[in-house]
Structure formats: C-alpha cells, structure tokens
Structure 1
Amino acid sequence: MAEPLPSLMLPASSWLRASTHRRWLDLQGQRLLDFSKPSRVDEGFAPLGNDGRLISGEQADTILTARMTHVYAVAAGRGLPGCAPLAAHGVASLLGPLRDQAHGGWFAGAEQDGKRPGNGRKQAYLHAFVSLAASSAVVQRIPGADGLLDDALAVWDRHFWSEEEGVFRESFAADWTDEEAYRGANANMHSVEACMAVADVTGNPLWRHRALRIAERFIHTFARNAAYAVPEHFDLDWTILKDFHKDKPTDDLRPYGMTPGHFVEWSHLMLKLEAALLREDGTAPSWLLDDAIGLFDCGTRAGWARDGAPGLLYTVDWELEPVVHNRPHWCQAEALTAAAALLKRTGHAAYERWYRTIWDYIDLHMIDRRQGGWLQELDRNNRPSAVVYAGKADLYHAWQATLTPLLPLAPSFATAVAILDQ
C-alpha cells in the first residue's frame, strides 16, 4: 500500500518512512488476521483461548462478531484471501441469529433456550460496533451489508442518539423501555469512530458533526477541565460518578476510576476528527489538536511505567494514582496509534520516540511467538495475566495498530483502504 504521507515534517529517519518497518507492520497484521480466523462459529464469531482454539462452551459474541466483520471487511479490501468470506459470515450473523427480530437492535449474543445472553439489555457500545462493521462491509460490497447498515443506523439514530445532549444514550431493555440512568464515555468514544466511518460511507456529514458534539462534551468540556484526565461515568444530570463500580475495579468495560488507555485513544480520535472535518470543507476547531496533545501527555504521564516496569496500566483513581496495574494489550495498541497520529500531524521527535518505545514494548512483551497472536494482558511485572481479559478474543485493537501507521488520518479505515489501493 503506497500511502501519501500526510506531512513533510516527518523526520527523515522516522520508522514511518522506512520501507522495512512498513513491511514489518504489514506482516504483523497478516499474522493477527490468520490467528483469529478459527474464531468463526455457526452464529458469528466466538472467543479464542491463548492457544488460538475456540474456548469450549463459548457461543457467538455480538461485539466480537461486529469487530471481526469490520476487520475482515477492511482486510478484504487489501486483497487478502479468506477475509471477504469471513466478513460475509459476520454480516449474515448480524442480520440473522444475533439480531432481535421482534424489536430490532442487537443483544450481546444469540438467544439460547429462550434466554437472552448477558443482562438482556441493548448497549450503545455494541451498536456502535455494529454500525462500524456495516459501514466497512458496505465499502467492500459484502452481500447484505447495505441492509445491515440501513438497519443499524435506523436503530442507532432512533433509540440511542440524544439530540438535546449531543451524545449517545447508554442502554435499554429489549423493547426499548427502561433507559439506563447513566451516560458513559467509553460507548461514546467508540461512537465517534463509528460516526466518522458512517459519514465517509454514506456521504452524510451529519454523522461527522455528531462525532464533534460528542468530543465537545466529553473532551473539550469535562476532560479539558480536568487537565485532560477523562471522567468515564456520569448520571443523567451529567454529575461525575466518582464511586461508580468501586467494587468492580477490573470490570472490562466500565471499571472504577479512569483509564489512561482511553485518554490516548481519545487523542488519536481527535486528530482523525480534525482531519475528517478539514477534508469535508477545509475547517476544523483548533482545539482538536490542542486536546489531542493534552490527552496523550496526560495518558502517558498517568499510565506509563508508573510502577517501574514499562507498559501502560489499566486504571487510575481521581488523583491519578494506579488502581489496576495490569497492562491490557489494547491500551498499548491505542497509545501506539496515538503516537503515530501525533507524529504524522506534528512531526515532533517526541512522538517518534514514543512510537518506537511502545512498539519495542509490544514486540518484546505482547507478541506471542510461541502460540500466536498477542497476549491480551500482562501483570505489573509484565508476566501473562487474565485478571481483566482472558484468552485472545480481541483482534480489533491490535490489528488496527498495525494498519494505522500505513494510512492517512482521514478518511476512515475502510474508505482509506479502498481509495489508496485503487
């Protein structure tokens, strides 16, 4: 893939300019894709264990299925064999057994013996990924993708979007009653990514401007006022819930405190949003760059090597003191992605150093050259752990980290691949 590098400011010695490094990224991405292919099951995709085999008794997971559909659709656009059929399987699963045929929308998995998986609620986090998957599948003309995108956007718009607040609501009961009295940064963060992708695919800038409204509230208001530490949990009056899940510090989606990995994830999303808005009409708020820099600085300061060992830890408290020291793989992937985005946007040598430092850490500690894939979590001493994340279910974060350095900041993944490979 020949990327038009977005900045002549990149240092001549940057890894991003080195053909050998770019080939290495491509190879690592292909290895991740191959490792995750056995996750296909009849009703979608299911988690893999550390050995790359399906975990006994696990059923298709809707979030995982949506993420796999997105990844394999984009990979299909790069001409990689085996990926388009997997994306098609994901689309069919999301239209079929994983969808609520009675009320619309999606649960965490297919019904088993008349019982809904998880807590039986419909989550904004999950629906953001269904929308992302559908948009990526549309770009690659995967059968059924247009219908899936129409369905997903209708549900997303009608039930989850709050025009008054400029954010996505969190969750509902099966029949769309009983709205949860909660507003969450995590679901809205992934909604920013999905909104940008949907805007690129549909040509409707409404979705891009919804992404901007989300960023204005969560980042330019709350995070900026907290020196770029990102509060995660709010009630319906937008009061920060500082004790939320204090009894569940290792929760995988809504842990207690704050998550430095999300600080850096928001950082690169601010840059992608800036680039997307500039690409739309040549204008973008100047604060998007300022906030991206502040978020990365705060995230690395709060989370990197806080206990003497390298790696970005999971959570911190309201004084930015470590709570969960374990290092999830996705935190490292998002820090890497943010460093690459800031390097492309600014050309500053500090981000080149971070980019190399984080890849060195991932290479030496997280890439599993014995059983394949990436270790999903390490403890504070960088030994394999499974306190928050067991097995090797996730492809999405790691694989995107291998592709992001090869792409411009805008448009979004699937659209950029389609344009650059023409």
Structure 2
Amino acid sequence: MTTPAPPTDDWLDGECRRLLTFGRRIIHPAGGAAWLDDDGTPDLARPVHTWITCRTVHVFGIGALLGHEGAASIATAALHGLRTTLHDDEDGGWFTAVAGDGAPVGTVKSCYDHAFVMLAGSTAVAAGLPGADAFLSDATDVFAHRFWDEERGRVVDEWDRAWTAPAPYRGLNSTMHSLEAMLAVGDVTGDVVWHARAARLAGLVLELAPSYDGRLPEHFGPDWSVDLELNRDRPDDPFKPYGATVGHGLEWSRLLLHLEATLGEAAPAGLLDTSRLLFERAVADGWHADGAPGFVYTTDWEGRPVVRQRMHWVVAEAIAAAAALHRRTGEEAYAEQYAEWWAYARDHLVDRERGSWHHELDAANRPQASVWAGKPDLYHAVQATLLPRLPLAPSLASCLARPAAMPDGPGAPA
C-alpha cells in the first residue's frame, strides 16, 4: 500500500485558521465560551463550562500569536469570563460550569478544570492578553495550595466547593492535563518548580506503563490503588470511561517527549522508551481494530475494543504523537503513520460543509453523537495542525511567542 503524502505547511496553516474561524461565535452572552453545535452556533441551553472556556483562551490566544484576525478579542473575552462568570468569588477557584443565569452547576472543584485554567493563563500571558499575569498568578496559587500533593508528588482530583474535603477518587486524566499545564506555566514564568512537579507526575506513568503492558489504568482510590473496574457499567463516559483509553496512551506518549525536551539532562530516565511503549500499544490495540479504519475509543485490559466509536480527539493526538516521535527519533515509520492518520482525518473527520471536525464517528465512520453532541472542542484539532511544525520544547504558546519560532518545519514532521 502506498503511503499518502503528508499535508503541506500551507494546508496545515489553512486548516488551523479554518478551525479558528468556525469558533468565531463562541463567546457566550453570559460570559465565557458557549457550547457550539454542528454549524458553530452557540447552544445557549447548555451551561458555560470552565474547560471549554479555558481551551477557548488557549486556542484563540494561539490564534492571536499567529496573527489570525479577531482571535485576540475572542481570547480576551473568554479570559474575562474566567475572571468573572466562572470564578468563585466567595470560596476561590473556579466552578466546573455555570448556567445561563450565572448560577453554579454542581459544587465540585475539579483538578481537570483547574489544570486548564493554568494552561489558559499561561497562553494568555504568552499572547499578552490584558490581565493575564494577575490571572495566572491566581490560577497557580489555587492549584499549588489545593490540588498539588507535595508529599506524594501527585494531584488531588476533586474538592467540594468550600474546599473542606477532597473526594476519594484520583484520576490519570487530570494528572495528564496537570503535567501539560505545568510545562506551559514553567515556560512562561521561568519558575522551574513547575517543571520539577511535571517530572514527578510523569513518574506515575513510568511505573504504570510497563506494569500494564502499555495500557494505562485511569482510575484510582485515595491511596492511588488501581481500580480497573470503574464505570464498567458506563463504558462510554466522556471523562471517566472504563478500561484503557487509547487516546490517552497517545497523548501521554507525546507529553513524555515534551517533558524530556524541556528538562534535558535533568529528565527522568526512561521517557523515550515509555513513550514508544504507550504509542505502540495504543496503535496495536486501537487502530483498525475492528475491520474499519479509525481508532476505537477504549479497550479492555486484554486489548479488546469496548467502545468502538471513533473520537476526533484521538486521531488528533495520534497525529501529534507520531510527529513528536519522528522529531525525537528520525524514524521513518512514525512519519508514515503521521501521513496515514492525516489522510484518515481529511477523509472522515474534516467537515468541509459545516466546519470544524466531526467530533464522533460510529464504527463504520459515519458521524454520530452518542457521546459528544455538536462541536464544542477546537483544542485537539488546532494543536494537531501546529505541534508537528514546532520543536518539542518550549510549550506551544511560548514557542509561538518567540519571533524566530513561528511554524517553519515541513508538513511531514521534521
């Protein structure tokens, strides 16, 4: 079979800007970012979510650094929503979501959300958005005091609204996005303690990956004991699915290489080997696993597909991970996989009629919405157009903020 040609730089740049244009109406009238439907129209019946608003600051902050028209104003408006609508002025920190009338939806304060608050703040600083420095200072202070467990070198997953008691659950998803945010925060602030914390978080994955043959457990008890059975009765949960999450193996594979590049000689041993293991297991278990192209969402602990839907973000992370491994190793096999997965994305996910990417496909690669309705997320797809063209460190926004570091690599990962 002939390997398809990888996308050119011009195509990647055009796709990045097409995605940003799709999100041009994303600001909610109540503040923050709205949930977008399949046409990019805000669904005002849904709450305003912190994670979506943070990702909006991030991607449109990146858009501002790229000089995309209107991106800076959208990023600034989303940041304002985080400073006002979504911020808990009484107890500190950020709500998970608020209704259209401004009332909090639920009472949980989550590490996942607060990691993205830090990522948003770091990108806002890199992009020079108004109020960004004070915002990031607040975000890092809350995270360090509430979610960082210095003794264990890990994160606490959830608190109640008033910070009186942590929930017993611990999770690898919030750990992963905390590491991502810590790398970004360390880059924009110059405070290396955040990079050191990221390295300690990575230690958990360095332990888990070989113990479970590259299939990462996602769920843990308060003592970090592994729970392999959580949500067996709800295997397609969008945030805490049962089994091994193929896309997270790919995402971790990439992030370990960013950590290695950031720390240089001070990096923990085994990051590249673990990155390879996670990547190879995710591809072996997830890609073309049931007779049709695409990555299944989850597998059981023997590698059998559980949820067969194809999520757009998994392909985006596969693209970025293959690019990172090719950049790190120079091995041609990764470049071939990168090109193959971009061809799949263009054939099945890129929605040329209505914009953005289809967020979910069924096992026959037809659009559906059993897990994800609409198109609320630009983050994974936008990053897939940029990460292959940039070095592994510093993190994305910090790299783009440097005048000499705009995208310049070939369409195939360099």
Identity %: 44
Q: Which residue of 2 aligns with 1:23?
A: 10
* Unmatched 5+ stretches in structure 2: 406-414
Q: Which residue of 1 aligns with 2:372?
A: 389
Q: Which residue of 2 aligns with 1:167?
A: 154
What is the RMSD of the two structures over their aligned residues, measured on CA atoms?
1.6
Distance, in Å, in 2 between the alignment partners of 1:295 and 1:407 is: 22
Shift of residue 211, structure 1, vs aligned partner: 0.8
In structure 2, the residue corresponding to 1:40 is in which secondary structure?
Answer: coil
Distance, in Å, in 2 between the alignment partners of 1:112 and 1:38 is: 16
Q: Which residue of 2 aligns with 1:79?
A: 67
Taking the TM superposition and a 5 Å limit, the aligned residue runs for 1:171-250 are: 171-217=158-204, 219-250=205-236
* 8 A Cα contact 1:334 1:397, kept in partner: yes
Q: Which residue of 1 aligns with 2:246?
A: 260
TM-score normalised by length of structure 2? 0.94
Shift of residue 236, structure 1, vs aligned partner: 1.4
* 8 A Cα contact 1:69 1:91, kept in partner: yes
Q: Does 1:143 align with 2:130?
A: yes
In structure 2, the residue corresponding to 1:323 is in which secondary structure?
Answer: strand
Q: Which residue of 1 aligns with 2:39?
A: 51
Distance, in Å, in 2 between the alignment partners of 1:35 and 1:111 is: 23
Query: What is the aligned residue count?
Result: 402
Shift of residue 113, structure 1, vs aligned partner: 5.8
Q: Which residue of 2 aligns with 1:358?
A: 341
Structure 1 residues 135 and 56: CA distance shift in structure 2, 3 A? closer
* Unmatched 5+ stretches in structure 1: 1-12
* 8 A Cα contact 1:304 1:310, kept in partner: yes
Shift of residue 239, structure 1, vs aligned partner: 1.6
* 8 A Cα contact 1:168 1:188, kept in partner: yes
Structure 1 residues 341 and 420: CA distance shift in structure 2, 3 A? farther
Equivalent residue for 1:319, pick from 302, 305, 326: 302
Distance, in Å, in 1 between the alignment partners of 2:240 and 2:404 is: 38
* 8 A Cα contact 1:315 1:325, kept in partner: yes
Distance, in Å, in 1 between the alignment partners of 2:73 and 2:4 is: 36
Q: Which residue of 1 aligns with 2:237?
A: 251
Taking the TM superposition and a 5 Å limit, the aligned residue runs for 1:15-164 are: 21-42=8-29, 43-110=31-98, 115-117=103-105, 119-164=106-151
Q: Does 1:378 align with 2:364?
A: no
Distance, in Å, in 1 between the alignment partners of 2:51 and 2:33 is: 9
Shift of residue 178, structure 1, vs aligned partner: 2.3
What is the one-letter code of the residue matched to 1:242?
L
Shift of residue 56, structure 1, vs aligned partner: 4.4
* 8 A Cα contact 1:99 1:110, kept in partner: no
Q: Which residue of 2 aligns with 1:6?
A: none
Distance, in Å, in 2 between the alignment partners of 1:370 and 1:82 is: 22
In structure 1, the residue corresponding to 2:138 is in which secondary structure?
Answer: helix
Distance, in Å, in 2 between the alignment partners of 1:87 and 1:97 is: 15
* 8 A Cα contact 2:260 2:268, kept in partner: yes
Taking the TM superposition and a 5 Å limit, the aligned residue runs for 1:229-308 are: 229-278=215-264, 282-308=265-291
In structure 1, the residue corresponding to 2:43 is in which secondary structure?
Answer: coil
TM-score normalised by length of structure 1? 0.92
* 8 A Cα contact 1:78 1:421, kept in partner: no
In structure 1, the residue corresponding to 2:8 is in which secondary structure?
Answer: helix
